Every structure is written in C-alpha cells, then in structure tokens.
Amino acid sequence: MSFLHRHRWLTPYLLLAPGIAFLLVFFVVPLGFLGHTSLREGTVQTGYVFNWAWDNYSKAFSEYQEQFLRSLQYAGISTVLALLISYPLTYWIAFRGGRWKNLLLLCIIAPFFVTYLIRTLAWQNILSDDGFVVSVLQTLGLVPDDGRILATSTAVIAGITYNFLPFMALPLYVSLEQIDKSLIEAAKDLYASSTKTFLRVTLPLSAPGVIAGTLLTFIPAAGDFINAELLGTPNQSMIGNVIQSKFLVLTDYGQAAALSVILMAVILVLIVVYTRVLGTERMAG
Amino acid sequence: MTAAAEPQALPRRRVSPLTRAWAFVRRHTLTVFGVLALVYLMLPIAVVIAFSFNDPAGTFNYTWEGFTTKHWTNPFGPIGLGDAVEASIKVALLATIVSVILGTLIALALVRYHFRGRGATNLLIFIPLTAPEIVLGASLLTLFLYLGTALGFWTIVIAHIMFCISFVVVTVRARLVGFDRHVEEAAMDLGANEFVTFFRITLPLIAPGILAGGLLAFSLSIDDFVITNFNAGTTITFPLYVWGAAKLGVPPEVNVIGTMIFGIAILLMLANTLLQWRRNPKGAA
Amino acid sequence: MKDPFERMNHPMTRQQLLRRAAAGGFTLSLPGLLAACGGGGAIGGQQANTGATTVEQVLADEITVSNWCCYMDKKSGRYPTIDQFTEQTGVKVKYLEDIDSNEQLFGKIQAPLSRGQSIDRDIIVPTAWLAARLKRLGYVQKLDQSAIPNKVNLEDSLAHPAWDPNREYGLPWQTYITGVGYDPDKVGGEITSVEQLLDPALKGKVTLLNSMEDTAGLFLLEMGVDPTGEIDPAAFDEVCAKLKQAFDDGQIRQFTGNAYTGPLAKGDSWAAIAWSGDINYLKPDNPNLTFAIPDAGGMTSVDTMVIPTGGDVYTASTYMNYYYDPKVMAQVEAGIFYISPVKGTREEVAKIDPELAENPLVFPPPEVRDNLYEFSAEAIEDPDFQEKWQAVILG
C-alpha cells in the first residue's frame, strides 16, 4: 500500500493498463497487420507472399476509383440530408421541447435499437415497386410510371441518411441544448427578429455540434456497404462492398487490405481536421 | 405624434388575416416539421412491428396477408434462429462485462489523473468510435488470419470488446466529470481508505454512468453486423442470421425478435432515465 | 448483516485492487490469446488432408448441414424428411440454408480449412466444380462407404465423374437445370432465349445469376459456342462485354446468387436466370411464375454432398445413406422439384404425385437431357476468365 502511496504517479497507468493493452493488441496491432497484408500478393491456391506489392495500391486507385468517389458522394449527400432533417428537429426539441425533451430525444434514439439490418430491410419493404410510397410518388409525378426507387442510388442514399441520422442528431442536440438561453433573450431584447437571432446567435453557437455531427455521420457512412447491398445494385456499390467482397468472397486479401488502408487514411485525415478544430479534450465526449 | 405628458398606448398595427395566418404557419411549421421527422424515424419500426403479425403465404414477408400471433407464440420456430439469438446474447453479455470493466478503469484514469500520454490515450479511445466498422473488422480479420486463430465465438467476443470499450469510456467519463470529489474527501477524512471509498462512495455514485455504458455496449454488441461478419467464420449470430435470411426471405419470426430487442432496450432506457430523474428531479441530462 | 465497518479493518489495499483488476482484464482476454497461439504461420498455403477416417462407427448427437436455399422439402417451417431421420437414428440435424453462391461459400471456408481447422459443418453441398477444387486442396474427407449401402442406388450417369471416379469423396445431392424463370403476364409472352432478357421492354426488371457457369454458359450457348470443352476467350470476352453493357444501361437490375428469388417473388423483377426447382418454391408467393429451358440449351451441374475437414464422417455418411433411399428422395423431390440422383425415385414419386412423375424438369426425358450442358471446370478455374467475370458482376 505504501508502495503505491509513494508512487502515486503509477496509479493512472495501472488503471489504464488492461484496457489500453487490449486496445493495443486488438485495435492498433491489427491495423499494422492490415498494412502488412496490403503489401501481399497471391490467391488461396498459390498462397500469399509478402513482396511489397505496391500495385495493390495502384490498382486500387485505377480500378476502384469509381467506388471510392461514389462512397464519398453518397456519404456527403446523406450527411447534408441528415443535417437538413436533424437541425430543425433537434432545434424543436431543444427549444420547444419543455418537459417532453427526454421523451422526444428517446424517439430519435429509439430506431437505433432495432437491428440495423432489420431497419434497412423494412425500407426495402416500404420502397418496393408496388408499395405505397412508390405509388404515391408516381401519382405525384416524382417517379416515372415504369420507374422504381429500390435498386437505385436514391434508395441507397435514403437508407444511409436514415440509418445515420442519430449520429447527426445527438451531437446537434447536445450543442443546441447547451446554448445559454439568456443570450437569445438578449438578442430579442435588442430587437433582433427571430430569423436574425437564429442566424447570428443560435447558428454560430451550435457550430461545434454541426461539425461534430457532420464528421460522426460522414465517416461511418463512407464505409457502409449494407445499404448499397440491400437497397441498391452493383451499380451503386460503394467501397465497402468491394472490400467486403474481396475479403470474404474472393479472398483477395492483399487487394482488400490495400483498399481498407486507403479508406482508413482518408478517415484519419478527417479525424485530424476534427481534432484540430475541437481539441483533443473535447473528443470522446 | 405630439409628445404627451401621460403615457399613451402605442397604436395597434392593423393586422391582416393573411399576416396572422402567416404568423400562425411560422409558429407551427417547426412543430409540424418535428412531428413529420419523428414519423419518418418511426416508420420502419412500425413496419417491422406490424409485419411480425403478418401471415405470409410464401417465404417472403412483403405484402400484408393476414393477422396472426403465431410467430409471437413460437418465435424460435425457424431452424438456426434460436441458436443465433443465443450466440448473440452470450457474446453480448461477455463483451459488456469485460468492456465495462476495462472502460471504467480507463475513464477513471482519464478524468482523475494527469499523466503523460493523455492525448494519445484520448486518440486511442476516439478512433474506434469513428473509424468505419469495415476497417475495424477487416484489420482484426487480418490479425486472426495471420495468427491462424480459429474464427468463431471467441474471435467475435474479442472484436466486440474492442469496439465497446470506447463507448463505455465516453459514457462513464461523462458521468465522472460531473462528479463531486468532496464526497470522497469527506469519506477519507472519516477514515476510509481509498479502496473502501471507491467501492462504497464513488462506485455507487457513478453507477448510473456505468450502467448506461453497459447498456450501450450490450445493445451495440447485439446489433453488430459488419465487424462480426468479418470475424465470425461459420458461427452465426442474430444479425448474421438476418443477413443470410435477407436474400432468401426473412421469416416473420425475425421481426418478432427484432421487436423484442427493441422493446427491452426501450424499457431499460426508460428505467435508466426514470432512475436518474428520481435521483435528480431537476432533470439531469 | 455484517458490521459494515469490519471491512475497514481488513481492507484490500488499493494495490491489490488494481492488481486484481488488471489480472481480471487479462484473464478474460486470455482465452482469446490462447486460441490465437493455437495456429501460427502465414495465410494461405495448403494442408494435405489424409482423409483419415478413424472409423469409430458411432453416431454423433448432432450434425450440421450447410445447403443451398430451397433444396429440402419443407412444411410449415420444418423439414419432414429431416425430422424422420432424427426419429430413426436419434441424430439431431442443424440444417442451415447458408450457401448463396459457390464463391461465397469458398471465401468463408477457405481460411480455416487451409489450416486443417474445422468449419463446424459435417456436410456442405458445393457444386461439382467447387467439390473438385475442395478435393484437390485436400479440404474434404473420404466417405465411410460401409455406412452407405444405398450407394448402389446412385444413377449410373453420375457414378463416375472425372474428379472422383469412384465417388469416394462425395455423393450428388441434386442435379439442377439453369434456365429462365419468369412471369409470363408481366413479360407479355413466352421466353425461349436469353436474348429476350436483354429486350429493352424488360429494362430494370431482369436479374442474372452471378455464377459464371450459369449466366456466361447460357449466353455462350445462345451464341452457338459449346461451353463444355475449351472456350474461346474471344467468345467469352464478347459475352462479358455484352452483359457489362446491359448492366451499365440499367437493363439488368442485379447480379445475384440465390437471392434472385426475392425480387421475382415480390414482382420487383419479371424475369431471371434461375434454377429449375426454385420456381416451384416461389409459387405460393407468385403463382404465375414459370420456368423455361432456352431453345439454345440449358446449363446443368450436380450439387454434391461432401464432408469437410472436422466433420463427423460416419454420421454424415449415414445421413447421405438415408437420402439415397428412393422413398425418401421421392418425398424430397415432391417438395423441391429438382433432379434426383437416386434410381427408382420416379416410381416412388408416381405414388405420391403422379403429375410430378411426368414433369420434364424433374425427370427429364432424353431429348431434354441432350439439350443440357455442363460448364467446363477448367474455364471456371482459369484466372483470366475469373478476373473478367468479376469485372462484370462487381459493376
């Protein structure tokens, strides 16, 4: 006991040890293996050989550029849509929610508790060619009579937006909720209209939430493949689909690993941007 | 206007009905939007629940054909579903327990101590939260492939612990940050040593945070598909079962299980909120 | 209740607490680490399997069978023939329909099998070319012939395939025909050629199988090219280009594995390259569906039951033997509508369902058989062909 009293500095490290060790072994080290694998070449039949196979990377850029760009595109559009839907929604709850705030917040989180796949399959049902939604849209003329929503990029983007909405809504809510209401009152006292108050006071103050939500939505969305698989066709395949198929079906581990490394690199860049903007202490809650 | 000695009522502006109507719309637009957004969020859930009562003639549960409760009375009818659910629950329990322990320790270290490597630790916790699941799953797979580990139950547990730790840290940390250390000091002044203080004062007070972290970890684990898909080998968990069934026709029993998981999660969340509200009626977040 | 302050007299020191916490953390991670130490070595490579069947002829309590969808007679969510098997032998069967395509199956099982690890399956049912590959790689075990007296019932035409001349490593489960499944009402007529699938009138309503041997095979036949022997790479290129174009144009909704059944049943697709028996499985969802072998010819192959490394040879062999009884196989056929490998099935089927016994898709007469072709296994294993095909189906 006195050992620890004398060596108080040891305490945090001891507390950290088991968890950090676990993360190091099963999170950091695998990333290293991923990199190592990305430079291997071979097939199941011939065995895999580590031979600095940089052409895994050049192939990744030349052949799969389309899927990379598409992933970024879909993730980007979904993020914007999620922002457009979430901002008014969370604003409403934060400012007009009153006693019902927590309940309404629960309504946003609730869909999260149904298994991701089941939620997406429900959309498959809702958006089916003979379904209610498509019929209404056809009547409204938004969809041609022989058109469909499923198996198009619209469906995939709609799915991604839906599935990642909580990631956008929650940080937005937290940041909106924390805005000091007296600041808004002050603006009103100074004869600012609601619009002006919003644009000059609320919006800037909620910026951290917007940034956090955007990144937290965009990043996982870019790596998603489930929506593309269930709601789209290979024409909508994202980089996630390619990685998944290369790893699990084609067992082209080298190429698959290279693609994953590139994806991770892009994400890391975004994370660095995020931490620069918000600082490392604000990370992780 | 002549300057008057007594205060004069300001003349009322003549308000046209159009302006009044517009004001009405403006005031309520937000609410309407909010409600519509919530409907949008809940729609797939409603579909899932509704179709758990459907009685499809064939193998596909897409069109409504008749009401029945037989799926609810025998939810584990389809072969393999029961085993999959069982596997999922076992994995989730193990992963939750371990990640809660490891994560709480890390959170304690982060909040209470200053140490070198703090920034790095924060980063290490943060990246798994935002990194695309596909990269996490794929890199872990390369580790296991390299080591020659048999993919199965234990690799799934390891993978789940890995990504749950970060979530637990974030949740517990939030609770710890708002923790009043004076209570601990008081206990120690009264003669309790650190260990007793921790277990009788600190732990009970941060228990809600730990509980919340555990709940989060559990639901994430039950729901996880991508990382599990990469590391499961031929073992089947509930989300993997759904994925396999998605191509061939998802039986309504899956909707039943999905609804059950959803229901239990909601109940637990409500219970947790209620508990927190009882402890702090001022409506702590 | 114990004196709450008693603990203070014998407190665990903080040091001990932290040590235990650390130990706890590690202990829980230990099994995983131990498991990790169990293997070792690089990825890939091959391990020869001596196929040692230490024939202790004891039935296991349970076996696990992986099969394709819609390949077992089913009634209200249960499989009658399997239940009968369990009744007769006491062996429980975990029957999983988790094979969606040969490539996907191989991708899943390759890594563990290459290290001699079990995949928790006693029987898997790959198509003949994949079975041949698995045998070549040493991933499957020899059957226990003494447990399969019914093997004599195996149809002569299937008894001596090139990859397994004495049927030591696998027994056929079903022979299937690949053709076109479609809804005549939606399509507006009969389909006699796969070219019709590329008709713009069907834009977005067509799915093709992602297996080279099925889809490329049918289109090669349409072009007049024989896919059973050596395939001219130029012809293959032409087919690939045509299909890629059709896909990019939006003509083809998707390339699928067994999952084509969903859209067909739902009505999201009107015509698909399909397997003969599935259409029957889908009838309750869509009674209009019908199946046609294209005039130019249909594809066929044999899905074969094999026992992977780690499977229980004796029990698996007993299971196979059970199904090689014409009476049992007749029951299965009545449910799945594929082509039985067991002699005498037709007579038994006539007793259950006389109409089925005359169905040319299930009991093909010689003129139908003559128009069925099996895709060359060499072409499937050719890396060039594989790469070109991947480019087509991955979009």
pLDDT digits (tens, 9 = 90+) for C291-345: 999 999 999 999 999 999 999 999 999 999 999 999 999 999 988 899 999 999 9
In a domain, B11, yes or no: no
Residue B212 has pLDDT above 90, yes or no: no
- Give residue C377's pLDDT: 86
> In this complex, is the C-beta atom of C255 within 8 Å of any C-beta atom belonging to chain A?
yes
Partner-chain residue, chosen from B105, B239, B283, that has the shortest CB–CB distance to A16 = B105
Locate the chain C residue with the closest alpha carbon to B99: C25
Distance between CA atoms of A89 and A109, rounded to whole angstroms? 13
Chain B closest-CA separation from residue C155 CA (Å): 30
* Residues on chain A touching C101 (C-beta within 8 angstroms): 249
Q: Are residues C166 and C80 in the same domain?
A: yes
Distances (CA, A) of A148 to A124, A128, A158, B75, C18: 12, 8, 14, 33, 60
**C104 contacts A47? CB cut-off 8 A:** no
In a domain, B119, yes or no: yes
Residue A228 has pLDDT above 50, yes or no: yes
Domain range for B138 is 75-279
Distance between CA atoms of C67 and A117, rounded to whole angstroms? 23
- Give residue B282's pLDDT: 54
Q: What is the ipTM of this complex?
A: 0.83
Query: What would the pLDDT profile of A177-214 be if each residue is shown by its tens digit?
Result: 888 888 888 888 887 777 787 888 888 888 888 888 89
Q: Are residues B46 and B94 in the same domain?
A: no
pLDDT greater at residue B39 or residue C10: B39
pLDDT greater at residue B197 or residue C181: C181
Residue C249 has pLDDT above 80, yes or no: yes
Of the candidate ranges A12-16, A276-280, B127-131, C358-362, the one whose mean pLDDT is the lowest: A276-280
Query: What would the pLDDT profile of B43-60 be if each residue is shown by its tens digit?
Result: 999 999 988 888 776 677
pLDDT-derived band of residue C15, with 50, 70 and 90 as boundaries? very low
Average pLDDT over residues B103-128: 86
Measured in degrees and rounded to the nearest 5, phi and psi for residue C255 equal: -100, 125
Residue A106 has pLDDT above 90, yes or no: no
Distance between CA atoms of A60 and A252, rounded to whole angstroms? 12
Mean pLDDT of chain C: 82
Q: Are residues B82 and B62 in the same domain?
A: no
Pairing of strands C62-68, C123-124: parallel
* Strands (DSSP E) found in A25-94: 40-43, 47-50
Mean pLDDT of chain B: 84
Domains of chain A (ranges, CATH numbers)? 57-282 (1.10.3720.10)
Of the candidate ranges B178-187, C155-164, C319-328, the one whose mean pLDDT is the lowest: B178-187
Percentage with pLDDT > 90 across chain C: 44
Q: Are residues B236 and B266 in the same domain?
A: yes
Query: What would the pLDDT profile of A17-30 be if each residue is shown by its tens digit?
Result: 888 999 999 999 99
Strand partners, C154: C342
Q: Are residues B230 and B264 in the same domain?
A: yes
Q: Are residues B31 and B158 in the same domain?
A: no
Q: Are residues C75 and C198 in the same domain?
A: no
Distance between CA atoms of A231 and A238, rounded to whole angstroms? 12
Domain's final residue, options B37, B68, B99: B68
Residue C25 carries which side chain, given as an amino acid letter? G
Q: Residue C182 is part of a domain; what is its CATH number? A: 3.40.190.10
**B196 contacts C11? CB cut-off 8 A:** yes
Measured in degrees and rounded to the nearest 5, phi and psi for residue B74 equal: -135, 70
pLDDT greater at residue A54 or residue C176: C176
In a domain, B253, yes or no: yes
Average pLDDT over residues B276-284: 62
**A128 contacts C254? CB cut-off 8 A:** no
Q: Are residues C389 and C346 in the same domain?
A: no
**B149 contacts C11? CB cut-off 8 A:** no
Closest among C308, C284, C30 to C143, alpha carbons compared: C308
- Give residue C64's pLDDT: 92
pLDDT greater at residue A72 or residue C44: A72
CA diameter of chain B: 95
Query: What would the pLDDT profile of C141-156 be if each residue is shown by its tens digit?
Result: 999 999 999 999 999 8
pLDDT greater at residue C220 or residue C52: C220
* Residues on chain C touching B60 (C-beta within 8 angstroms): 262, 265-266, 285
Q: Residue B102 is part of a domain; what is its CATH number? A: 1.10.3720.10
Distances (CA, A) of C346 to C80, C334, C350: 19, 10, 6
DSSP-derived letter for residue B116 is: T
Q: Are residues B86 and B35 in the same domain?
A: no
In a domain, B91, yes or no: yes
Partner-chain residue, chosen from B79, B149, B246, that has the shortest CB–CB distance to C39 = B149
pLDDT-derived band of residue B66, with 50, 70 and 90 as boundaries? confident
Q: Which residue has the tokens 């620890």?
A: A4
State whether residue C235 is helix, strand or coil.
Answer: helix
- Give residue B98's pLDDT: 95
Q: In this structure, is the dihedral angle defined by the CA atoms of residues A154, A155, A158 and A163, taken in order, positive or negative?
A: negative
Closest among C173, C197, C195 to C342, alpha carbons compared: C173
- Give residue A283's pLDDT: 45
Q: Are residues B60 and B139 in the same domain?
A: no
Of the candidate ranges A160-169, A276-285, C116-125, the one whose mean pLDDT is the lowest: A276-285
Q: Are residues B187 and B256 in the same domain?
A: yes
Partner-chain residue, chosen from C26, C43, C254, that has the shortest CB–CB distance to A18 = C26
Of the candidate ranges A219-223, B121-125, B247-251, the one whose mean pLDDT is the lowest: B247-251
- Give residue C16's pLDDT: 40
Alpha helices, DSSP H, located in A127-252: 132-139, 153-177, 181-189, 194-197, 203-205, 207-222, 226-231, 239-248
Q: At what angle do helices B153-177 and B203-223 cross, to 10 degrees?
A: 140
In a domain, B13, yes or no: no
Residue A285 has pLDDT above 70, yes or no: no
* Residues on chain C touching B196 (C-beta within 8 angstroms): 7-8, 11
Q: Are residues C312 and C208 in the same domain?
A: no
Closest among A156, B197, A26 to C35, alpha carbons compared: A26
* Strands (DSSP E) found in A37-170: 40-43, 47-50
pLDDT-derived band of residue B280, with 50, 70 and 90 as boundaries? low
* Strands (DSSP E) found in chain C: 62-68, 92-99, 123-124, 140-141, 170-182, 206-209, 252-256, 271-275, 290-292, 298-308, 372-373
Residue B153 has pLDDT above 70, yes or no: yes
Residue B248 carries which side chain, given as an amino acid letter? L
Residues 191-230 on B with a CB inside 8 Å of C are 191-196, 198
> What tokens does B36 get?
């519509």
Domain range for C111 is 62-173+302-354
Residue C38 has pLDDT above 50, yes or no: no
In a domain, C366, yes or no: no
Closest among C280, C296, C303 to C372, alpha carbons compared: C296
Q: What is the pTM of this model?
A: 0.81
In a domain, B36, yes or no: yes
Q: Are residues B79 and B121 in the same domain?
A: yes
Overall number of domains in chain C: 2
Most confident of A54-68, B81-95, B247-261, C357-371: B81-95
Overall number of domains in chain B: 2
CA diameter of chain C: 94
pLDDT-derived band of residue B6, with 50, 70 and 90 as boundaries? low
- Give residue A272's pLDDT: 81
Average pLDDT over residues C167-196: 92
Residue C51 has pLDDT above 60, yes or no: no
Cα C88 → chain centroid: 26
Query: What would the pLDDT profile of B190-200 be if each residue is shown by its tens digit?
Result: 887 777 777 88
